[in-house]
C-alpha cells in the first residue's frame, strides 16, 4: 500500500495530516494521523519531519486506520535518531589513525648529520 500526503488541518495544538492510502488495485481510502505540536517541541522534532514520520507510522501498521503520532512514537524516533548520530560519531572516530611521533618531519626535510650543525 502506498500513502500520499494530501494536506493537513490545524486544530489548536494538534495537527492532523491527511493521507490517501492507495491500494494495489488503485482504490483509495483517506486516512488521518494526528500529532501534538507541543510534544514535538519537547522532543526536538522539526516540524518539517512530521509528515514523513506520520507516513512511516502508517507504513508500520498492519491495519490502516486513523491514528496518532503518540508520545511513545516520538520517544522511539528521538532515541533512534540519537543512536544513529552516536554511531556516526563513533564511525568517524574509528577512522582516525594514531598520531605519529614523526609529525611534521615530512615538511621539515631531513635533519643534517650530527657533525654539520
Question: So what's the pLDDT on residue 87?
Answer: 85
Q: Using CA atoms, how far apart are residues 1 and 58, in angstroms rounded to an integer?
A: 10
Categorize the per-residue pLDDT at 85 as very low, low, confident or very high, splitting at 50, 70 and 90.
Answer: confident
Give the single-character DSSP code of 20. E
Categorize the per-residue pLDDT at 69 as very low, low, confident or very high, splitting at 50, 70 and 90.
Answer: confident
Question: Do residues 54 and 61 make contact, with C-beta atoms less than 8 angstroms apart?
Answer: no
Return the ∠ at Cα 94 (arms to 90 and 95), rounded to 5°. 125
Q: How many angstroms separate the most distant Cα atoms in the chain?
A: 90
Arithmetic mean of pLDDT, 35-58: 92
**Percent residues over pLDDT 70 in the chain:** 78
Q: Using CA atoms, how far apart are residues 51 and 49, in angstroms rounded to an integer?
A: 6
Arithmetic mean of pLDDT, 24-31: 90
**Percent residues over pLDDT 90 in the chain:** 35
Residue located via cell numbers 514535538:
40
Question: So what's the pLDDT on residue 37?
Answer: 93
Total residues belonging to the chain:
117
Q: Using CA atoms, how far apart are residues 106 and 49, in angstroms rounded to an integer?
A: 48
Q: Is the pLDDT confidence value at 117 over 60?
A: no
Amino acid at each position: 500500500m502506498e500513502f500520499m500526503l494530501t494536506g493537513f488541518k490545524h486544530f489548536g495544538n494538534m495537527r492532523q495530516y491527511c493521507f490517501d492510502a492507495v491500494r494495489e488495485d488503485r482504490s483509495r481510502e483517506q486516512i488521518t494521523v494526528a500529532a501534538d505540536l507541543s510534544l514535538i517541541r519537547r522532543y526536538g522534532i522539526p516540524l518539517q519531519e512530521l509528515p514523513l514520520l506520520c507516513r512511516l507510522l502508517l507504513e508500520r501498521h498492519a491495519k490502516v486506520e486513523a491514528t496518532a503520532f503518540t508520545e511513545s512514537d516520538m520517544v522511539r524516533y528521538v532515541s533512534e535518531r540519537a543512536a544513529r548520530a552516536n554511531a556516526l560519531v563513533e564511525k568517524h572516530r574509528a577512522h582516525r589513525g594514531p598520531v605519529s611521533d614523526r609529525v611534521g618531519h615530512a615538511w621539515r626535510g631531513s635533519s643534517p648529520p650530527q657533525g654539520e650543525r
